[in-house]
A and B are shown apart, each in its own frame.
Chain A
Amino acid sequence: MLSYKCDDFFSLEAEKAGDRVEERRHFLVPKHTIVPKEKEEEILKKLHATKDMLPIILRSDPAIKKLKAKPGDIIEIERVSPTAGKSLYYRVVR
């Protein structure tokens, strides 16, 4: 059986910070980036979804304040997952 430790979240984050210098984030906050307009279609096709089916991130969300995202943009979130290592998640700005 697989077993999970709660520190899984911590250790993975620490490893990542080691090999390249990045803007430091709170350990709970994953990396957010805006998906360029050209790549949007490719991602939606991969997910078999339309934009209004995606989960939402609010425009006022503290994590994307610096990105200056506009409503309708897709945000790519690089999650540190204890089951899959790194996983990508997409949210649409509203």
Chain B
Amino acid sequence: MPRKNAESKEKPSEKKKTKQALKEKFAELRGNLPEKIWNELFEVAEREKLSEEEIKKLIEEAKKEYEQVLVEPCEAAGIVAAQSLGEPGTQLTLRTKHYAGALEVSVGSGIQRVEEIVDGRSKTKYASMTIYLNDELKHNKRKAEAFARDIVDVRTEDIARVKEDFKKKTAEIELIEERIAERNLDKEVMLSKIREAIKKGEVHKRRDKLIIQFPKELSLLKIRNEVLKIMRKRLQGISGIEKTIVTEENGEYVIKTLGTNLKAVLKRKEVDPYRTTTNDVMEISRVLGIEAGRRAIVEELHKTLTENRIKVDLRHLLLIADLLTFTGEIRGTVRTGIMRLKQSPFARAAFEETVKHLFDSALHGEREPLQGVVENLIVGLPVKVGTGRVELIMKE
């Protein structure tokens, strides 16, 4: 039996080898065929048991087809991408309004979400993280839940109320029983943590209350500031994480959160730092770099569109994501983002704040090179796109 097993294991690797050898043999014929098509060709060749002569023919045929579907020089790919996203976007707007009364449609997905990503807003409205756990925690529900509770941001003001007495210069901090119970916290630990936060004055403990006697010479304003500081003190958790929930996904426990703080979460040893993500694309580009941000844009846009059953070719989204990340940081399609980088004053004026842009460029003596689409439309010249770009005439 073991021998047979070893044989069957060897076979595919041998097959792989011959495939690899074939690939290397025809490598010079590859030209600019992308990897995916290249691999598919050899899969077909293997399945149909083609001879070398036939493979050669197949590659040549595929290359011809591939070159035919490439974007032509001077084709306005950007405009096509914008329209491809814009048209279904309009449909989506209408549908969102139609669904406005229904409960199950969340506001965090739909056209607002697309707008948020494309505009490059610095704050995501419904920020959420997906935290994958390390090997120890991912199959242990109890530990995962304990960790999920541990990272929730708890401030003093969330679990206690305060009474100030400015005459006696005292403040009374009282824990709220229900709030502690619903968060599953330990009363004594919380009290001692609040006590650590108190820097000035004497502290007396009376059951669930902490009574602070401030020094007599302290001014009222300072007492107020001191109390506010204590109330805003983070007692536990990671700042920004408001709520957590443990769910099961593909046989492992995963934590979903409301609120995001990627950098701090990735540093915790309980999480899997290679898969944990957030839906805040700006944060990803800050923490993991611009390329990660670009991919996050594509994935978030694609996710939002498929959720709303809108089919937009992925290539349009790739182009949009490349444009948004061109300058090394995410810039939105707004006048303060990529529009500001446009060389032409007419193009900027045509977008938003016409008078301001015209006035500013006149003040600085800018030149209008008339290279883009909008500028040429304004002055009534042929647009330099497609056939408008070519200045030669073919000789028969």
Selected from A30, A64, A77, A85, the residue in CB contact (under 8 A) with B39 is: A85
B302 interface residue per 8 A CB criterion: yes
Interface of B is mostly: helix
What bracket does the count of chain A residues touching chain B fall in? 20 to 34
A61 interface residue per 8 A CB criterion: yes
With the chains together, A64 CA to B288 CA distance in Å?
10
* Beta-carbon contact of B277 and A28 below 8 Å: yes
What bracket does the count of chain B residues touching chain A fall in? 20 to 34
Residue of A nearest to B40 (CB): A85
B322 interface residue per 8 A CB criterion: yes
Residues of chain A within 8 A of B273, CB atoms compared: 26
A60-94 interface bits toward B, Cβ cutoff 8 Å, 1 = contact, 0 = none: 01111000000000000101011111110101001
* Beta-carbon contact of A58 and B302 below 8 Å: no
* Beta-carbon contact of A82 and B288 below 8 Å: no
Residues of chain A within 8 A of B36, CB atoms compared: 81, 83-85
Specify which of A28, A61, A64 lies most central, judged by the most chain B CB atoms within 10 Å of its CB. A28
A6 interface residue per 8 A CB criterion: yes
Residues of chain B within 8 A of A62, CB atoms compared: 286-289
With the chains together, A3 CA to B312 CA distance in Å?
10
B275 interface residue per 8 A CB criterion: yes
Q: A57-B328, A62-B288 are in contact. Are A6 and B303 (CB under 8 A)?
A: yes
Interface residues of A, Cβ cutoff 8 Å to B: 4, 6, 9, 24-30, 32, 55-58, 61-64, 77, 79, 81-87, 89, 91, 94
Knowing that A4-B314, A83-B34 touch, tell me 17 more A-B residue pairs with CB under 8 angstroms.
A6-B303, A9-B299, A26-B274, A28-B284, A29-B288, A56-B327, A57-B328, A58-B329, A62-B288, A63-B292, A79-B295, A83-B314, A85-B36, A85-B38, A86-B35, A87-B35, A94-B328
